[in-house]
Amino acid sequence: MWTVINQVYTTRDSQNAWAHLASDNKWHKIRTGATDGVSNVFVVLTCAKGNGKQAYVVLDAAKNITGAYM
């Protein structure tokens, strides 16, 4: 779904990255399992937020973010 990224959040803990999506006004965790995958999705979401653009976000059945592009 295309959506505005309201906020992004991460911690120093491995693979702990989140995004708050305007489409449903909720926080969603970026699905863990591949360090580079979490980092790459986080970068796309951060770029969308920073530039005021929408991102296309893919969610799994548990509402975790599994992919994103602009």
Tens digits of pLDDT across the chain (70 residues): 999 999 999 999 989 999 999 999 999 999 999 889 999 999 999 999 999 999 999 999 999 999 999 9
Residues 6+ apart with CB under 8 A from 46: 8
The whole-angstrom separation of Cα 66 and Cα 30 is 6
Phi, psi values for residue 14, rounded to 5° = -60, 130
Please tell me whether the overall predicted TM-score, pTM, comes out greater than 0.85 for this model. yes
**Residue whose structure tokens are 């929408």:** 54
Number of other residues whose CB lies within 10 A of the CB of residue 42: 20
For the chain, the domains span 2-69
